[in-house]
Amino acid sequence: MSEDVCVGGRRAILLGGIGLLAAAVMILALMISGARAAEVTDARLRNAGSDTEAANWLTVHRSYDSHRFSPLAEIDRDTVKGLKLAYAVPLGGWGPSELGFPTLQGTPLADGGFLYVSDGWGSIYKIDARSGDRGRVVWKAEFDVDHEALRLPANRGVALWGNLVFSNLVDGRVVAVDGATGEIVWEKHVATGPGEGFTGAPLVADGKLIVGQSMGDWATRGFIAALDPETGDELWRFYTVPAPGEPGSETWQCPEGGNPDCWKTGGAGAWATGSYDPENKLLIMGT
């Protein structure tokens, strides 16, 4: 059984079962328990690596330091040999682009026994994993991404904040959906230049949604932007390739190389989700 909910010309598909055979999220035999979680706040994100959040995985790296360490102790060197597949949840998002099939390279987020995962085109799935022996897709939110666009589609995960779930799309949009229903709350076309788009997972830090323009290998100019997570409005943008006269511009020998505008297509895409130092309010990202 499924129910289509139209929101702003898009569809959020509420699923009563498991469908769309294509890619699969495989869940090991580890019980995820707990009641429905509270909203994801800045305080919870700052403490995402603590024992208090041991059963949850609130950001793509679990905590701002990006250590990806879990304090859960049931699986250790003695018990790991007993792991087996508990269930698999088939996902969609396997339709190819002109350059190949999409890839899902992200880490599912977990909060209160629910998983939030994207497919290679950036569609978001909420999965009820509380039983430990099956995963029930609560809803799927999809965003009508053009599969004919000349990009190699990939997605590296989603972000949580408040009651919202965020996904970056390969076509340059950032979308926010309601965590309870999967309905679209807002969408913004942030990366609008030729060849620009997103593949990295967004990160919420200091109440801001951080996104990185990822297509450095498509002769674009990389940038990192901060959005208001409630509205999607852009708060600031930092270009990873300096324009003439900006700090570091002297390292780009554009005139000497015969292309005075090479900084406009210099790449430096911010495709990997960064780390955050909340004490110093310092965002650390590579290109």
CATH number at residue 46: 2.140.10.10
Helix, strand, or coil here: 66?
coil
Contact assessment for residue 116 and residue 124, using Cβ atoms and an 8 Å cutoff? yes
Tens-digit pLDDT profile for residues 11-68: 444 443 333 333 344 444 333 433 445 899 999 999 999 999 999 999 999 999 999 9
Helix, strand, or coil here: 93?
coil
Up-side HSE of residue 270: CA atoms within 13 Å toward CB? 26
Up-side HSE of residue 277: CA atoms within 13 Å toward CB? 7
Tens-digit pLDDT profile for residues 68-112: 999 999 999 999 999 999 999 998 877 777 777 888 898 999 999
Distance in angstroms (rounded) separating the CA atoms of residues 187 and 224: 18
pLDDT band at 269 (very low <50, low <70, confident <90, very high): confident
Tens-digit pLDDT profile for residues 109-134: 999 999 999 999 999 999 999 998 99
Please count the structural domains in the chain: 1
134 CB neighbour count, 10 Å cutoff: 15
Residue 165's DSSP bridge partners are 160, 177
Tens-digit pLDDT profile for residues 223-240: 999 999 999 999 999 999
Q: Rg of the Cα trace of the chain?
A: 20
Predicted structure pTM score: 0.84
User: Domain range for residue 152?
Assistant: 2-284
Using alpha carbons, select from 150, 117, 111, 128 the residue that is nearest to residue 23.
117
Structure tokens at 75: 């699986």
| Edge-to-edge strand ranges of the sheet holding 208-212 | 203-205, 208-212, 223-227, 234-239
